[in-house]
């Protein structure tokens, strides 16, 4: 079983939630939507896709982007929502040993750009927003960092992560 997601804040939070709910111990497979659309990534049976377009062969799919809507129903959860992380959280809510609601709320705000003026002008006063700014998501050289952030957010409060 692999978690396959994109390296932005919503994807990182999806990885935290999926790894925690399903006890996944393998590293996250980080991809961009174009990697799936251009068949540069092999999706395997058992893969869980989150915050990405649907790819045949995956076992579960979680997404919230209107452009990725499909007419057929697939296992997982698709709905227009502020973040894919919120959908993963809803789907597995009963499996978490920790309260991830604050983390999911932050993913909702950040991914939907529902920010206050104070958050825009002073991101350093808002820890999740600040952390999200460290996830540019374009270089494979950063995969170790993305995986490290996932493990930190699984086990520590945001104050201990920054």
Comparing 24-33, 63-72, 76-85, 105-114, which segment has the lowest mean pLDDT?
63-72
The pLDDT value recorded for residue 135 is 87
- Quickly list H helices, 69-142: 84-92, 101-111, 117-121, 127-132
**Distance from C-alpha of 142 to C-alpha of 152, rounded to nearest angstrom:** 15
Q: Which domains does the chain have, with CATH numbers?
A: 3-155 (3.90.1640)
Say what the pTM is.
Answer: 0.92
Question: Taking 70 as the threshold, does the pLDDT of residue 25 lie above it?
Answer: yes
């Amino acid at each position: 079983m692999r978690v396959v997601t994109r390296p932005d804040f919503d994807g990182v939070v999806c990885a935290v939630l999926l790894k925690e709910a399903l006890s996944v111990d393998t590293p996250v497979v980080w991809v961009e939507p174009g990697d799936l659309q251009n068949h540069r990534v092999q999706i395997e049976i058992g893969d869980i896709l989150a915050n990405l377009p649907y790819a045949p062969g995956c076992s579960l799919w979680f997404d919230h982007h209107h452009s990725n809507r499909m007419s057929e129903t697939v296992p997982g959860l698709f709905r227009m929502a502020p973040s894919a992380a919120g959908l993963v959280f809803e789907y597995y809510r009963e499996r978490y040993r920790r309260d991830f609601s604050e983390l999911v709320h932050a993913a909702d705000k950040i991914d939907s750009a529902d920010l206050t003026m104070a958050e825009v002008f002073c991101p350093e006063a808002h820890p999740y927003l600040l952390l999200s700014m460290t996830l540019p998501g374009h270089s494979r050289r950063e995969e170790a960092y993305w995986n490290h952030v996932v493990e930190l957010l699984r086990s520590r409060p945001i104050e201990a992560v920054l």
